[in-house]
Amino acid sequence: MYDIKASQRLFVATNKRLGLRLPTWEDLALLERWAHEPLLDQMVGSDFLYVCRTLGAHHPDFTPLVWNDPTALTLLIQPLGSPAAPVGYVRLYNINLVEQFAFLETAVADHRSARAGWGVEASRLLLAYAMDALELTRIEAKVYGYNVLSANALRRNGFREEGVLRQTRHWDGRRWDILVFGILEDELRAQRARESYPYMGFWPPRLDARA
């Protein structure tokens, strides 16, 4: 049984169903397990999980990527309401605060969790946090061409397909494209207007920010 209360102080953002929280030392075992799941590698192809799989979750070269990377934010997707382990993570990486953009990575541990909509909901919550707390105005994401579920999830969250990296991934006996998606500030605000998330920034909103 997972002790939610013990990590309550680590939540960065929450909605009615889930919270996004910082990993604890004990959560490294979860990252280790996910890093070795072939299906997750097939669907996400995460460099973050690749380093974890190669070095090990407790390696001194990996743990800074979890907690001390100034260009990344990794948050676990924690269901609320009943004690349960995290179902995956959402991650902003290559964060550039000067140019106000970052890349989004969403990893849900199994198909049952993915079908429950945790990834879509967690990504949506992270986008709102990124807009408020980090003042990002552009977020990008990449999806393998065969991962229709993730591509559709991005579209549901307001992303637009912007380009194709041709024949970049080898899987199931053929080469697949990587689809490049992006979402801009106006589109983030339009998506945000459909939600009931409170403002999550550290300072009062900019006076020129449009509702």
Most confident range (mean pLDDT) of 43-47, 61-65, 150-154 is 61-65
Is the pLDDT reported for residue 211 higher than 50?
Answer: no
pLDDT digits (tens, 9 = 90+) for 56-81: 999 999 999 999 999 999 999 999 97
Is the pLDDT reported for residue 9 higher than 50?
Answer: yes
Q: 29 falls in which pLDDT band (50, 70, 90)? A: very high
Written as six digits, the tokens of 199 are 């403002």
Query: Whole-model pTM above 0.85?
Result: yes
How many whole angstroms separate alpha carbon 33 and alpha carbon 162?
Answer: 33
* Residue spans of alpha helices (H) in 20-106: 28-35, 38-44, 47-55, 63-67
**Residue 206 CA to its chain's centroid (Å):** 25
Is the pLDDT reported for residue 38 higher than 70?
Answer: yes
The backbone torsions φ and ψ at residue 152, rounded to the nearest 5 degrees and listed phi first, read -65, -35
| Averaged pLDDT, 27-53 | 94
Q: Domains in the chain and their CATH numbers? A: 11-192 (3.40.630.30)
How many whole angstroms separate alpha carbon 18 and alpha carbon 20?
Answer: 7
Is the pLDDT reported for residue 28 higher than 90?
Answer: yes
Q: 82 falls in which pLDDT band (50, 70, 90)? A: confident
Of 14-28, 163-177, 197-211, the poorest mean pLDDT is in 197-211
Written as six digits, the tokens of 100 are 């106000």
The backbone torsions φ and ψ at residue 196, rounded to the nearest 5 degrees and listed phi first, read -115, 25
